[in-house]
Amino acid sequence: MVLLIIVGIILLPLFAILIRAFDSDASTWKLISEFYLSKYIWNSIGLVIGVSGMTILMAVIPAWLIANYKFFGRKFFRLALLLPIAFPTYIMAYTYTGIFDSTGTIQQLANTLLGNDFANAIYFDFMTPFWLVLVLSFCLYPYIYAACLISFSNDSAQHLEASKMLGANSISRFFKIGLPMARPALLAGLFLVIMEVLNEYGAVQYFNFKTFTSGIFTAWENGDLTSAVRIAAVLFATAIFFLFITHILIRKSKIEKASKIPIVHEQLKKHHHVLAFLFCGLLFLFAFLIPFIQLLFWAVSTYSEVVTFDFYVVAWNTFTISILAAIVITLISFILLFAGNQIRNIGGKQLASLGILGYSIPGAIIAVGIIMPFAFIDTSLQSNWLLGSIFGLSIAYLIRFMAVSYNALDGAVQKQGSRLDEAALNMKTKPLIAMFKIHFPILKPALFIAVILVFVDIMKELPMTLILRPMNYDTLATEAYRYAETNESAMQSAPASIILILLGTIPVIFLHKLIKN
């Protein structure tokens, strides 16, 4: 019963979208479907393809080099190249815009050091799709990098040695053994990248690049919820399409892995050594160091102006809603996981896994999908408990981020196996008692990690928060976005951005530990 209720809540926005999509009351739909929808579709697909290609390029090469070769800074880059994942995409977008626009850092420096003519000569329009793809790729490539690094380091070590013994050179080893064996990991990472691109709102809006999410927001801001829901339905169909394609490709490329042996890192030749260092160094420089230093610089120069009492209120709001929602979401995942395990033989596990579908649903879909049932319940109860409330926003977070805590806990539970449950049953302990007396204390570290991971995701979340937050309620993410969007200057958003990025490095530490082990 508990399981059904949780899964029901998670699937609520999808059902609502299905029902509302067929509503005839859509004032701007005709206009959208005739003039904009194809643009949303092609722009979104183009962005997915562009970012996919760029992230694969950015991720696979350093992962391969770090997994297989010794070169200066290898251990540093192993961690450092994960750091860009801490950058929310919208922050990366406006930071780079602030660096490259006509009044940005590059132009100011060029003007001061080499004169106006030189500054004019090197000026280029940054707000183009190419740079958007690059900016998004900087933030998203670590998903593929981490997956490939783990795969290259663990799964193919012995096969690579075997191919060396058969005379294969390093390029042939990469293409014939390393890459095909890492394909499932690469595709899994790529799937996350695609979902993040489809979920993307802040950066695309900043670049004025029309995708599904910007369409949803435009329709919603114009008060046409039905059109917003219909665009969300098309976006959901696109997300399902990509889910289906990657799922099939992963299944097709799944292979039996060899026993794990430690990889022996090979010394690179001198010029290859320099190239490896340069590739990793430049990637780290552009994907993390330059934007981070720029933000730090801005944060210092705007600190006294921005960090006022209101800023502390926003920071406190963000912290409290994120931590409370993270704790509740983790506890609900814990219950979902054990409820699913208890009725494993009648499909409980599969039913529970429906509960984590939310992570594959872009935030904008969840947000518009949940408005209708919330409005219905609020109207029926003549209350305003859900729509535009902290409680309602937390439910949206639950739907979106349940998968994060569920997967973190599931990994730990799988390591335990079923022996503890069997031992508890043997001692006539009821499953509910066993859950709290045995599993809960053992899983404390995993629960802690799950809370932290969800906490960081909620802190950074933008599209759902923008749609569902209470009136005059801001989080650091919306604050950073608001400053960047309305002031036409990224400088004032820097203090909030720096806090978000620093908190975003916490999952990086866990991820790095996983890779090291």
Binding site for other proteins (CB under 8 A): 158-159, 161-169, 176-177, 180-181, 183, 253, 255-259, 264
DSSP one-letter code for 176: I
SS3 73: coil
CB nearer other proteins, residue 162 or residue 390: 162
Q: Give the DSSP letter of residue 472.
A: T
Instruction: Compare residues 31 and 249 and give the one whose CB is closer to other proteins.
Output: 249
Whole-number Å distance between alpha carbons of 409 and 63: 27
Extract the tokens encoding 427. 């001692």
> What minimum distance in Å lies between the beta carbon of 490 and other proteins?
46
Report the candidate in 422, 453, 420 with the shortest Cα–Cα distance to residue 439: 420
Nearer to other proteins (CB atom), residue 165 or residue 471? 165
Report in angstroms the alpha-carbon separations of 260 from 12, 151, 157, 159, 189.
43, 11, 7, 10, 21
Other Cβ atoms less than 10 A from the Cβ of 322: the count is 25
CB 144 to other proteins: min, Å? 19
Tell me how far, at minimum, the Cβ of 183 lies from other proteins, in Å.
8
Minimum Å distance from CB 179 to other proteins?
A: 10
347: left (phi over 0), alpha (psi -120 to 50) or beta: left
| Residue 154 structure tokens | 């663990």
69 beta partners: 266
For the bound state, the minimum distance from the C-beta of residue 440 to other proteins, rounded and expressed in Å, comes to: 39
Shortest Cβ 180–other proteins spacing (Å): 5
118 Cβ contact list (under 8 Å, min separation 6): 110, 111
Distance CA(11)–CA(271), nearest Å, equals 55
Residue closer to other proteins, measured from CB, 258 or 328: 258
Least distance from C-beta 173 to other proteins, angstroms? 8
Alpha helices for 417-462 (secondary structure H): 419-426, 431-434, 440-442, 444-460
